[in-house]
């Protein structure tokens, strides 16, 4: 019944709150009470808590099951091992994609992995591994330096932009790489998961960006928060409230820091502007305006990633200021070295954010029905896969510890 649903949701969210947000709540309560009491500190003692890895992901999957069963009793899973398999499916347990119970229900008890599943799964896994090890880890070397330096002083405009762009590339290739690996591993076992990314950096608008980025999270909030609140079938002020709630929760979901909350609110403001102004209709009337708005969309996304990556709001403000206002910078020689060493690789990474390679491959593949040509194309593809796998394994062995970014969430 409804009471059991509330109890189950409260239990799951309670565990998530304790490990992820309890100390954050205490710290903010201490700051508030300190301000009200004239400077007294230490009202609440912050505890040393170790957050279970991937807690947000498996909590949301547990909630998905509970809510889906409440809505449709026929979905109940009576086999506890099958239920455990859904919640603890290891390829995507740690960093997603978030799998809704309805999506995978039939596959849990009825699946038959075929050879093409294994082949496609291995290919997808290798692509994801290459994204993470070869691209994300490399651009991270460039991104980390400016964000580290900004805590000590100002940085040049060029290196502020380079750091922001490289972090945007890092977080995309890191997370989409993990999603590819998870989807590939699951495919090997006969599970077919939904896509989690669809070339987000070619988005025409910010709304379009969020249809392409972390698709499973967007759908989860849509189905379990936004629509139950009334969605867009309500009065204007209620619709604004619904979106504000969703984006506040989206920010909080990523971590217990005001930077994440502000990041969510920034997207709320921009999406409200796209929804309730005529700007989208205006830019759609002209190709030039459409391309300019695409660039503006990327600018918004990059600036939001700066807020997301920064340790505090004040540091984010200083970093963004350095992106637009000339300042006397630290370590100019080191900055020049970083720029010169990686600039070609950064350009290649930007190119790989687009579907150009995929489109060209499909076009070449469809040019002819000649079996010999198709065989040669497959040989080239598998040679590329083996090369990516070999270089990725070598880089992994040689590299220091470098976990996936989304392990933290």
The catalytic residue positions are 254
d(CA 16, CA 52) in angstroms, rounded, equals 9
Q: Is 194 exposed, middle or buried (0-12, 13-18, 19+ CB in 10 A)?
A: middle
Other beta carbons less than 10 A from residue 154's beta carbon: 17
Q: Quick one: how far is CA 325 from the chain centroid?
A: 29
d(CA 285, CA 4) in angstroms, rounded, equals 52
Q: Of 212, 133, 202, 203, nearest to 174 (Cα)?
A: 133
d(CA 20, CA 25) in angstroms, rounded, equals 10
- What SS3 class is residue 267? helix
d(CA 42, CA 34) in angstroms, rounded, equals 8
d(CA 165, CA 334) in angstroms, rounded, equals 18
Q: What is the DSSP letter of 135?
A: I
- What SS3 class is residue 97? coil
């Amino acid at each position: 019944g409804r009471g059991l649903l509330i109890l189950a949701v409260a239990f799951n969210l309670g565990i998530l709150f304790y490990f992820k947000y309890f100390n954050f709540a205490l710290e903010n309560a201490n700051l508030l009470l300190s301000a009200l009491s004239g400077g007294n500190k230490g009202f609440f003692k912050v505890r040393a808590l170790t957050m279970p890895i991937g807690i947000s992901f498996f909590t949301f999957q547990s909630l998905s099951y509970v809510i889906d069963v409440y809505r449709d009793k026929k979905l109940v899973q009576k086999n506890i091992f099958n239920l455990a398999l859904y919640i603890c499916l290891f390829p995507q347990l740690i960093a997603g994609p978030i799998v809704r119970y309805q999506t995978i229900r039939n596959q849990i008890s009825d699946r038959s992995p075929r050879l093409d599943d294994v082949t496609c799964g291995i290919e997808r896994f290798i692509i994801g591994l290459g994204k993470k090890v070869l691209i994300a880890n490399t651009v991270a070397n460039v991104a980390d330096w400016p964000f580290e330096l900004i805590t000590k002083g100002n940085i040049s405009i060029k290196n502020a932009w380079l750091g922001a762009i490289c972090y945007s590339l890092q977080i995309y290739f890191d997370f989409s790489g993990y999603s590819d690996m998870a989807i590939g591993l699951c495919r090997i076992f006969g599970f077919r998961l939904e896509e989690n990314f669809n070339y987000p950096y070619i988005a025409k608008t910010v709304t379009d960006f969020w249809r392409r980025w972390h698709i499973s999270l967007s759908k989860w909030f849509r189905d379990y928060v936004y629509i139950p609140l009334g969605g867009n079938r309500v009065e204007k002020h209620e619709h604004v409230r619904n979106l504000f709630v969703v984006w506040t929760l989206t920010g909080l979901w990523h971590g217990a820091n005001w930077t994440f909350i502000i990041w969510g609110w920034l997207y709320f403001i921009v999406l409200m502007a796209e929804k309730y102004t005529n700007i989208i209709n205006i830019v759609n009337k002209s190709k030039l305006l459409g391309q300019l708005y695409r660039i503006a969309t990327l600018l918004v996304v990059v600036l939001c990633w700066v807020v997301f990556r920064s340790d505090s709001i004040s540091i984010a403000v200083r970093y963004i200021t350095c992106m637009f206002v000339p300042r006397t910078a630290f370590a100019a020689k080191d900055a020049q070295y970083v720029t010169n060493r990686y600039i070609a690789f950064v350009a290649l990474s930007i190119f790989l954010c687009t579907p150009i390679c995929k489109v060209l491959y499909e076009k070449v593949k469809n040019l002819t029905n000649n079996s010999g040509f198709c065989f040669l194309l497959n040989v080239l593809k598998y040679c590329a896969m083996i090369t990516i796998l070999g270089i990725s394994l070598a880089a992994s062995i040689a590299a220091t510890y470098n976990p996936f970014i989304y392990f933290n969430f």
